[in-house]
Amino acid sequence: MIFLQIIQFILLAYLGFAALYIFIFSFASLFSARTKKTTSAKKLKYAVLIPGYKEDQVIIEVAQDALNQDYPTEMYDVIVIADSFRKETIEALRKLPIQVIEVSFKLSTKSKALNKAMDQLPDIYDVALVLDADNLMESNFISKINNAFSEGYIAVQGHRVAKNFNTPFAILDAISEEVNNKIFRKGHRVLGLSAALIGSGMAMDYKYFKKMMKSIKAVGGFDKEIELQMLREKIRIEFLNDAIVYDEKVQKAEVFSKQRRRWLSAQLHYFSMDFITSIKHLILYGNFDYFDKAIQFIQPPRVMLLGLLLLINLISIFINPIQWSFIWLGVLVTCILALIFSIPVKFYNANTVKAIFTLPLAFFLMFLSLCNIRGANKKFIHTEHGT
């Protein structure tokens, strides 16, 4: 009995902190972040870097779309980094007014592709803008990013949103993306902390990015390694809520499971690598941003947090005194309120209600991913797009 009480205290401390953490930042996201004002924005030159691995089905559309910015055409170049593309895809890409850099690796990673491309590119750019091979930018995306750089930022994350809602899992993935945007990006900026990077729709000072990428060796989660390095250096990452880039969401259960397995593995890997160091930086240098990032890595996924709290509340009714049941209910309500604050109004519709019925499957797949994450961050797991 005492052993069960100890387990319950540990679970309450962990899950209660997780629920409170997302509640604080989701509530903060309801407000507007303070932004710097600039009177004039110098037109910087952009390298729009689009690395892709076997993305033949979507890359032509993405490359064409990237050319349709309201930014001066001479001030940005679209560069497709083609890894293992079909010959006919390469030929079609070369007919467009873009640059195509073919790469090939025994073990393909985004960081290797980006480093290889920047080794070949001339140092004529001010900003590196990284997209995934399925990303579509709104026509004013670069202009809005440019305004942020004129305000003094050297790292900016755009607002990535879903471009497809065609399956229940796509809807759940889209909601998950927006929840993360509210909690780990907008909410953090409102409270004066750095926004989290996503790995695409992000822009950085070109010279800094090129130099930093030389040290990035990540197979999975390269954006997390970049972010940790920047936060160690106390570089503040901006988030632009109105700079929209569209991203294809996963449509099948098996893809959802593979993607989450990769993400969970990267999170736990970087938590184990950086948690102790982040405490030292917090104590010695007052670097709360870096410490907060390490704390994020031990947060359970929102689907898993909600599922566990629902399960524990159900069990608590039968085994716990009434006081404990109310405590667990309070934690569950805190979690639900956090999700309500962070889910955009557009998702409150009949399709979302239908998608909710797949939540038990999503929870089960997340649990399986957690049980099978060993080594997932050490091998490349490709998420196929356009299917």
Question: pLDDT digits over 53-91, tens only?
Answer: 999 999 999 999 999 999 999 999 999 999 999 999 999
Distance of CA 233 to the CA centre of its chain: 20
Per-residue pLDDT reduced to its tens digit, 230-241 = 999 999 999 999
Q: Using the predicted structure, report yes or no on whether residue 51 has a pLDDT greater than 70.
A: yes
The SS3 call for residue 40 is coil
Global model pTM greater than 0.75: yes
Domain chopping of the chain, boundaries: 2-31+259-378, 46-256
Q: How confident is the model at residue 329 (pLDDT cuts 50, 70, 90)?
A: very high
pLDDT score of 169: 85
Of 141, 81, 90, the C-alpha closest to 114 is 81
Give the strand order in the sheet containing 76-83: 99-103, 76-83, 46-53, 127-130, 202-205, 155-162, 238-247, 136-137
Of the candidate CATH numbers 3.40.920.10, 3.90.550.10, 2.170.150.70, 3.40.470.10, the domain formed by 46-256 belongs to 3.90.550.10
For 14-27, what is each residue's pLDDT tens digit? 999 999 999 999 99
C-alpha Rg value of the chain to the nearest Å: 21
Q: What is the DSSP string of 311-356?
A: HHHHHHHHHS-HHHHHHHHHHHHHHHHHHHHHS-GGG-SHHHHHHH
User: In a 3-state reduction of DSSP, which class is residue 296?
Assistant: helix
Query: Per mean pLDDT, which of 4-13, 188-197, 254-263, 353-362 is the most reliable?
Result: 188-197
Task: Write the pLDDT tens digit of every residue in 282-306.
Answer: 999 999 999 999 999 888 888 889 9
pLDDT over 70 (residue 344): yes
Distance separating alpha carbons of residues 107 and 98, to the nearest angstrom? 26
Name the amino acid, one letter, at 340.
I
Task: Quote the tokens at residue 193.
Answer: 């902390």
The answer, yes or no, to whether residue 2 has pLDDT greater than 70, is: yes
Question: How many other C-beta atoms lie within 10 A of the C-beta of residue 258?
Answer: 19
Per-residue pLDDT band for 376 (boundaries 50, 70, 90) equals: low
The pLDDT tens digits for 108-138 are 889 999 999 999 999 999 999 999 999 999 9
How far is the C-alpha of 184 from the C-alpha of 167, rounded, in Å?
Answer: 25
Looking up tokens 């090129």, which residue turns up? 210
Residue 253 has pLDDT above 80, yes or no: no
pLDDT score recorded for residue 280: 95
| Per-residue model confidence as pLDDT tens digits over 161-215 | 999 888 888 898 899 999 999 999 999 999 999 999 999 999 999 999 999 999 8
Amino acid code (one letter) for 68: N
